[in-house]
Chain A
């Protein structure tokens, strides 16, 4: 158990819909990362937050957005869903800057299926 909690574990929805994925980082970790894992694209970095502020953006679509709340949990919002958005979405966390060794702690992922 990594200590990172993601909900829901599975989600099935239709094209055009909007979903929210939730992540609770390890206790004490300030950074949250979102990754998308699909069969054809591999593991793609989407976005990083540090203590409530956006820190880095990767290959995140404009239809997607995220935020990190004062209690440090994070949400990834996916809207106007398309079939190609079907994937496993991982959240990861890491310690504060001074304690960062490069290791990320991953949740078990949220599997999104768009029909």
Chain B
């Protein structure tokens, strides 16, 4: 089956530190990959996505590159801010199937301290 594995949190960083959150996947086909973010008290919202190998998704200073050879989609940001404190979910979907439901990882909580 399809699955997503994320590094366990919480990840605690000081403001302006470099962030990496690891994500690897297992899929029976060629998935599209996503990072979603959940701010406190809110629903999930799309942060970035990549639909094919070597694509780089980017948004709000966050980046992730679709690495087919290592089945990975690690999230990075060069300088985090307190406002980035949230839970980050890696997810995949197989677009060529009738099932259009995302498979999520377990989430990684990021805490950024001033």
Contact = CB atoms under 8 A, between A and B. Distances in A.
Binding site of B, secondary structure by majority: helix, strand, loop or mixed? loop
Interface residues of A, number: 26
B97 to A, nearest CB: 9
Interface string A91-103: 0101001001111
Interface in B72-114: 89, 93, 95, 98-107
A93 B97 CA distance: 18
Contact of B43 (A4, A45, A94): A4
Interface stretch (B17-25, B44-52, B62-70): B44-52
A45 B100 contact: no
Interface of A: 2, 4, 31, 33, 35, 42-43, 45, 48, 50, 55-56, 58, 90, 92, 94, 97, 100-104, 106-109
Contact of B107 (A42, A48, A102): A42
Interface residues of B, number: 23
Contacts of A35: 104
Contacts of B102: 33, 45, 102, 104
Given A35-B104, A48-B99, A100-B95, 8 more contacts: A4-B43, A48-B101, A55-B98, A56-B101, A90-B44, A102-B32, A102-B34, A103-B46
B47 to A, nearest CB: 11
Contacts of B93: 102
B49 A103 contact: yes
B41 interface: yes
A108 B41 contact: yes
B24 to A, nearest CB: 15
Contacts of B103: 45
A2 B46 CA distance: 11
